[in-house]
Structure 1
Amino acid sequence: MPATPVATPATPAPAPPRAKGAAGCRANPWLTLLAVAFGLFMVQLDGAIVAIANPEIGRALDASTADLQWVTNAYLLALAASLILGGKLGDRFGRRTYYMVGIAGFTLASVAIGLAGSIEGVVLFRAVQGFFGGLLMPNTLGLLRAVFPPRRFGMAVGIWAMVSAVSTALGPIVGGLLVEHVSWESVFFINAPIGLLALLVGAAVLPQSKSPAGARRFDVPGVVLLALGLLSAVFGVVKGETWGWTSGGTLGALAAGVLLLVLFGWYETRIAHPLLPMRLFRNRSLTVGTVVTALNFFVLLGAIFFVMLYLQNVRGFSPVEAGVRTLPLSLASLVASPLGAALTGRFGPRLTMPLGMLLQAAAAFAMLTWDTSSSYATMWPPFVALGLGVGMVLAASSDAIVGQAPVEDSGVAGGLQATALQIGGALGTSVLVSLISGRVGSVLGRELTGAGVPPALAERLTEAKDAVAMGVAPVSGDMPAALRAAVVEGSGQAFMSGLHVAAVVTGVLCVLGAVVAAAGLAPRTAAARD
């Protein structure tokens, strides 16, 4: 859950006026990049770290599985509903202002989560945390767009993408260390020093920038329609896995979300000063970039989720050991983001975006070779390919979305990209878990019987398919050793069958994404490169 020179169809846009720093002098673009990196790192790390802490939160606060789902979903819903609003507020009233408000609110909410003492308090403050993250995230790109000249914007967003990808990939490692050696509360308390440092650096170096259009009537109906539409759609996505994708609740929430978003789009074309100018989507590169951005995080967060289930529950690694084994993904992201930005600056996103999606497809298809006892030699190449692909697509999509938007709409464009990231990540986790669960339910009895479990017992154990879909074998301490081994073997094989289905679907979607990007993005012209 997020670049290059500005490319326009005909002539290159003039460089934006340089924003002024906090003291009134010209802003330093690289110090601006350093400042926003702190806030970006905090939000992205938090998004990836909490899943590791959920089991311990459940034990400490006596929370049910449904309660723990809301620890994630409350944050996700509030974040998705506020991202475009945060970008619009920054464009109109000051990107520095809303970035700093977002940092302060996110930090205070993080501390409140650790002090809450109840699952209800954790869920409430997670929603508050998500809202302030929505104010913060889009204005990171908006600030960069305002201070960097077009010829250097790509490299800046490449570094932005590197920070985003690496912090997301480091989440399981940091979370595992904190949960194992400190406490689950420390997963949230760690945001306090990062947030304080971000506030101090931001106050010292960040410029104030906003749209030069002047005072306009704020689009309150648009805010309400967009927030309700996104809330309903994302709620349907995150509950689809537990309610069932064909249930009335899921279909009703999704249908309501789509209807509200269509109504929002219609309304935005009828007013003079819309929250999200629909004219942005006339740019084909921006539209394609938004779609591929969602697919990019569908793959990243979905893959990280089932890979962590495999490493921890099937292979028996601790959270820290599992996180260390995914380090190649982090390191590859570190390399890929600036490399993707440089390639995008030279050739445009039409090269780097399809290339990144094909690398992710290769990673997904390589996971088809995994089994319950695979050596690490079969694991790290897919991690490298996935990290390279995600980093390259993230850099290219920033060019295709934020780089293609007018400077005065850069905060809104940043919010659009961040919204696509979050919705894609929510879909990836929910859809792929559903695929694994469905496959496990259909093959579990056969796999248990094939491993030597008596048919009558195998039939009873199929009731534990939800646990097996998470990689957990339904064994008990009073089982004979031979039977226990058979249940573990059969459950592991059923989970791997589900993982392979998820990998195939992921790989096919990546190939389709590469085709869409290659066909839909315009080639970089010589004028745009210059």
Structure 2
Amino acid sequence: MMGNIALKSAAGRWVMAATIMASAMAFIDGTALNVVLPALQQSLDASGAALFWVLNAYLLMLAALILIGGALGDKLGRKKIFMIGIAIFIAGSAACGFAGNITLLVIFRVVQGIGGALMIPGSLSLITSVINDKERGKAIGTWSAVTTLVTLGGPILGGALADAGLWRFIFFINVPIGVVALLILATKVAETKDETDTGKIDYPGAALIAVGLALLTFGLLRMPGKGWKDIFVCGTVVTGLLFLGGFIWVEGRSKNPMMPLGLFKNRVFSGCNLLTLFLYAGLSGGMLFVSLNMIQVQHYTQTESGMSFLPFTILMMLIARFAGSLADKWGPRIFLTIGPVVAGIGLILLSFIGQTNGYRDYWTTFFPGILVLGAGMSFTVAPLTATVMGALPDHLSGIASGTNNAISRIASVFAVAVFGALAGLFFTGMLQQSIQPLHLDPASYKAVMLQAGNLGNAKVPSVVQQSLHQQVINAYHNSFIAAYRKILLLSGILGLAGGVTGFLFIPSSMQTRPGA
């Protein structure tokens, strides 16, 4: 029987151990990579554009396939698809660790993304379908707290490894974790699937959603370098939207849809996903630029940058698990209103930071914003996850998890693409103003402006007079800070929008789980 296992039972503990290990393995890469990007860029002699693709190749595949992963788990067996995803993910991780150039690394990140798409929905789906109703919020809170703790420990680990010249171990560490998770699943966890679903897999829908999301996200990721007027960018985005329109048309007529459109008639489910879109777009864009600012402009070491997020980690460890239990008692609305608003305020506080004296100024510059952001996210993550999973019946847990995870990944892709483009525009505009008083000759001016695509990693071209080098460096730093401030302000506004969405869509109390 589904949903009848106690959280503290042996079976419940094994399920929690396997799902937490696999999820943490997937999530840690994202946060650790933000910190090790400079070391990776230097080691593989990668351009700024190629560096973003190391992040986005994974996110693109995740966004394109994660709905399929959730649906396959419901139909074919959640444990089976979960284990296949873990196996693919650890194979991709090992390959990333051995990659000899940036092109191979991007290709192997695609493999990781495929594994992640099959793996990530399975963790929450297994918890939701196995743990009993009364403890489900606490179980999801525990999952959220521990995975977020490990995930946010990623920057600390990544910074230490990068400073030691061992950035490749960010990928290698996934292998033993994944193997242990597979052993636990194979020997200690029972299979679950939707026993009421006797229909065939929705292959047309799967193909349309995969191609549509891949084309749309690929076009958006190309937009910062090519611009919206580029025919390839426009064509890719429009074609992706057409495929997604075809997906909606097919799902509305299919006898066995991969994603029943009726799910979005559920106000709570729709509201949770809209909140997720706003909040995670703001969080992803904000945290990426905070990391780049620390390392490239404020001269933090990669270890110092990683340690800077420790307050966030501690708050998640102390609060997130209990927030899930409190939401069960008091209802999710208060948490999903105040939490995103506080997180948004934290991002806005971070937007006020200018040029600092490095890590010695951390406590009066980055610390307050990170602390407030951490408090907001600590009260949001578990209630949001529990609410979105509780909005649908047990037999749709894979689709619920897959949809919400897809939204969060799409939000990250959109944030990197759109904020990357905006940062380039803001940086270029400020740089033009900053270097105008220097009266550079045409060749030097062109060379300086060509570096704008590297943002905070921009280097003074050799053609520039030596006497002007420091002034050009200052111009680069001032231009990045100007762009950073605007990006963090926009990120904060998205967090506030998430809070408004929570207030409007989420009820003050949740009824008994549908279909439970």
Q: TM-score, normalised by structure 2?
A: 0.90
Q: Answer whether contact 1:300 1:390 (CA < 8 A) is retained.
A: no
Q: Answer whether contact 1:280 1:286 (CA < 8 A) is retained.
A: yes
Q: Answer whether contact 1:109 1:128 (CA < 8 A) is retained.
A: yes
Q: Is 1:266 the equivalent of 2:245?
A: no
Kindly tell me: are residues 349 and 105 of structure 1, through their superposed partners in 2, closer, same or farther at Cα, counting changes over 3 Å? same
Q: Partner letter of residue 430 of structure 2? A: V
Map 1:26-425 → 2, pairs under 5 A:
28-373=11-356, 375-376=361-362, 377-425=364-412
Aligned partner of residue 269 in structure 1, secondary structure: helix
* Distance in 1 between residues matched to 2:103 and 2:89, nearest whole Å: 18
CA shift, 1:310, in A, is 0.9
* Distance in 2 between residues matched to 1:181 and 1:508, nearest whole Å: 37
CA shift, 1:63, in A, is 4.6
Q: Answer whether contact 2:97 2:168 (CA < 8 A) is retained.
A: yes
* Distance in 1 between residues matched to 2:379 and 2:64, nearest whole Å: 27
Selected match of 2:426 from 439, 443, 451: 439
* Distance in 2 between residues matched to 1:61 and 1:490, nearest whole Å: 27
* Distance in 1 between residues matched to 2:48 and 2:347, nearest whole Å: 29
Instruction: Identify the range of structure 1 (461-470 vs 370-379) with the bigger mean alpha-carbon deviation.
Output: 461-470
Instruction: Identify the range of structure 1 (330-339 vs 280-289) with the bigger mean alpha-carbon deviation.
Output: 330-339
Partner of 1:500: 485
Instruction: Identify the range of structure 1 (301-310 vs 169-178) with the bigger mean alpha-carbon deviation.
Output: 169-178
Kindly tell me: are residues 388 and 258 of structure 1, through their superposed partners in 2, closer, same or farther at Cα, counting changes over 3 Å? farther
Q: Answer whether contact 1:102 1:136 (CA < 8 A) is retained.
A: yes
Partner of 1:470: 456
CA shift, 1:185, in A, is 2.7
CA shift, 1:107, in A, is 1.1
Q: Partner letter of residue 273 of structure 2? A: T
Q: Answer whether contact 1:296 1:393 (CA < 8 A) is retained.
A: no
Q: Answer whether contact 1:87 1:415 (CA < 8 A) is retained.
A: yes
Kindly tell me: are residues 467 and 125 of structure 1, through their superposed partners in 2, closer, same or farther at Cα, counting changes over 3 Å? closer
CA shift, 1:477, in A, is 11
Q: How many residues align?
A: 507
Q: TM-score, normalised by structure 1?
A: 0.88
* Distance in 2 between residues matched to 1:349 and 1:248, nearest whole Å: 45
Q: Partner letter of residue 327 of structure 1? A: L
Aligned partner of residue 28 in structure 2, secondary structure: helix
Q: Is 1:510 the equivalent of 2:495?
A: yes
Aligned partner of residue 138 in structure 1, secondary structure: helix
* Distance in 2 between residues matched to 1:169 and 1:436, nearest whole Å: 25
Kindly tell me: are residues 461 and 118 of structure 1, through their superposed partners in 2, closer, same or farther at Cα, counting changes over 3 Å? closer
* Distance in 1 between residues matched to 2:511 and 2:100, nearest whole Å: 59
Instruction: Identify the range of structure 1 (493-502 vs 460-469) with the bigger mean alpha-carbon deviation.
Output: 460-469
Q: Answer whether contact 2:279 2:494 (CA < 8 A) is retained.
A: no
CA shift, 1:335, in A, is 3.0
Q: Answer whether contact 1:468 1:494 (CA < 8 A) is retained.
A: no
Structure 1 unpaired stretches of 5+: 1-14
Instruction: Identify the range of structure 1 (386-395 vs 35-44) with the bigger mean alpha-carbon deviation.
Output: 386-395
